[in-house]
Amino acid sequence: MTDSQPLISHLIELRNRLLKAIGCVALVFLSLAYFAQDIYQWLAAPLLDALPENATMIATDVASPFFAPFKLTLVVAFFVAIPYVLYQVWGFIAPGLYKKEKKLIAPLLLSSTVLFYAGVAFAYYIVFPLAFAFFSSVAPDGVIMNTDINSYLNFVLKIFFAFGLSFEIPVAIVLMCWTGMTSANSLRAKRPYVVVAAFVMGMLLTPPDVISQILLAIPMWILFELGVIIGGLYAGNDTAETEQAAE
């Protein structure tokens, strides 16, 4: 009975932190719900700017004009609440970490948030204008590009998540180097394979167009190089601390 008490207390704390995270997302969603149409208009701006004259977006489903903006607003609410959600994650795992582990995990949680936002911003401000201009320019004669609002939403959300997750590469590399799964020198030796893998991942994670695939693969390669540099520094600091402790 005594052994089960810590487990029960951890489960209760996990439940409370999950409820706080969900409550934060719900609160942000309720705050943004009034602006749902404006948020969708902002998301649609890159496509609308690339559409030919007199072309508009359409709704092929009766309920799409109502549900699509609120679906987007819910996703935006989660994006906005990510720092608080990660804070709850940190609050749950921090008591079980050593001091050295806390020094690593806290910066990684912060940097992972910033990198995810950077990936989403890169997709919106760089990839979308180029990709949509390309799609519009290659439309066959007599074909008007009228995109369904729900299909467009699903498309951009996939791109957002693909770029947001891909920008987490440095965090993943630092963790692998720190835990000893690999080393910076080993990753440098595998650079040619990583470059090929980046372009393959770009092909798998993005729609079938060359522009978005290249615009995802190149940042993944750059982020890999950044992760190798930082991972080498973390591994070096960890080795230095171990030697100092042994002395």
Residues facing 148 on adjacent strands? 58
CA–CA dist 127, 37 (Å, integer):
23
CA-based Rg of the chain, rounded to a whole angstrom? 22
At residue 80, the pLDDT reads: 92
Extract the tokens encoding 148.
């369904």
Mean pLDDT calculated for residue range 110-129: 89
pLDDT digits (tens, 9 = 90+) for 61-91: 888 888 999 999 999 999 999 989 888 888 8
At residue 1, the pLDDT reads: 44
At residue 206, the pLDDT reads: 67
pLDDT digits (tens, 9 = 90+) for 10-39: 788 889 999 999 999 999 999 999 999 999
pLDDT band at 3 (very low <50, low <70, confident <90, very high): low
**pLDDT, averaged across the chain:** 82
Number of C-beta neighbours around residue 84 at 10 A: 16
Mean pLDDT calculated for residue range 195-212: 75
Sequence-distant (6+) residues with CB within 8 A of 136 are: 50, 51, 52, 145
At residue 180, the pLDDT reads: 75
117 pLDDT above the threshold of 80: yes
Domain residue limits, the chain: 4-238
Sequence-distant (6+) residues with CB within 8 A of 49 are: 129, 132
Sequence-distant (6+) residues with CB within 8 A of 59 are: 65, 68, 148, 149, 150
Extract the tokens encoding 242.
């171990």
Which of 108-144 are b and which e, b meaning 16 or more Cβ less than 10 Å from the residue's Cβ? bbebbbebbbbbbebbbeebbebbbbebeeeeeeeee
245 pLDDT above the threshold of 70: no
pLDDT band at 207 (very low <50, low <70, confident <90, very high): low
Q: Are the CB atoms for 129 and 50 separated by under 8 Å? A: yes
pLDDT digits (tens, 9 = 90+) for 157-189: 988 988 888 888 888 888 887 777 778 788 888
Q: Residue 97 has what DSSP assignment?
A: S
At residue 6, the pLDDT reads: 73
